[in-house]
Amino acid sequence: MAVVPWEFDLSEQNAIEVKLDYSGYISPAKAKIIALEKMFKVATISAEFDDEIIVYDPMFLCSKSNGVSIEFVGLYHTGFELDAESLPDICIRRSSWETSFGSLPEVCKKLSCQTSFICSKDDLEIETIMSMFQDVSVEKITTLSRVSRGEGNTIDTFEFSFSSELLTLNTSYFYDSCSNVFVESAYQKLIDYWNIAKINSSFVPDNGLFKISYN
């Protein structure tokens, strides 16, 4: 068993890492948590293009969930300009999940994730989306206004995280009674763009392979 060097008790004894065991029964509530973890807990995405390995870090991740499904979109970027302007410097990851529980295979069977690799150079639409995240303030991304949408009998929840050199935050709110214009606009713009990019603008990694590391 591995020691966790940054976790210790008052006697300075380190904690031992315990791998989560999903071999038993998985309740509907736990199944939703697992699905969200698979969506949000990606630390890096990497792929090789023209013999160059490119690593993408999470920038903006957002999901909308209700009692029966989850829709997710994530924007990942390199954080710096690539030497070759024709290589993809961002990727968009689109995920969905329908309620399924009982065992881990049953939970994952209803999970679908697909990543599109994109070059933002000379693409006005994605440049416009990326500009939304420049100089984002805490107030802009966390301020909620009260609304009463009353769209159905289920309670929709928005969960999102944002990471930059100056700011990192994670939060959530109830979609039926609250609103954040910035978050909801970014979420919808990324989904709309992904639907176009996967057909017209997406790059395919060398050998068709890419890697994902989880937190």
Average pLDDT, integer, range 88-98: 91
What confidence tens digit (pLDDT) does each residue in 17-72 have?
A: 566 667 788 898 899 999 999 899 989 998 888 888 999 999 999 999 987 899 99
Highest mean pLDDT among 12-26, 70-84, 173-187: 173-187
Among all chains, which residue has been given the structure tokens 């990192």? 168
Closest of 80, 81, 62 to residue 71, by C-alpha: 62
Instruction: Parse the chain into domains and list their residue ranges.
Output: 26-203
* DSSP conformation class of 25: -
pTM beyond cutoff 0.75: yes
Q: How confident is the model at residue 180 (pLDDT cuts 50, 70, 90)?
A: very high
Among all chains, which residue has been given the structure tokens 């994952």? 108
Closest of 139, 138, 177, 136 to residue 157, by C-alpha: 177
What confidence tens digit (pLDDT) does each residue in 154-169 have?
A: 678 999 999 987 788 8
Measured between alpha carbons, how far is 46 from 56 in angstroms, rounded to an integer? 6
Residue 184 burial (10 A CB sphere; 0-12, 13-18, 19+): middle
151-177 as b/e: b if 16+ CB within 10 A: eeeeebbbbbbbbeeeeeeeeebebbe
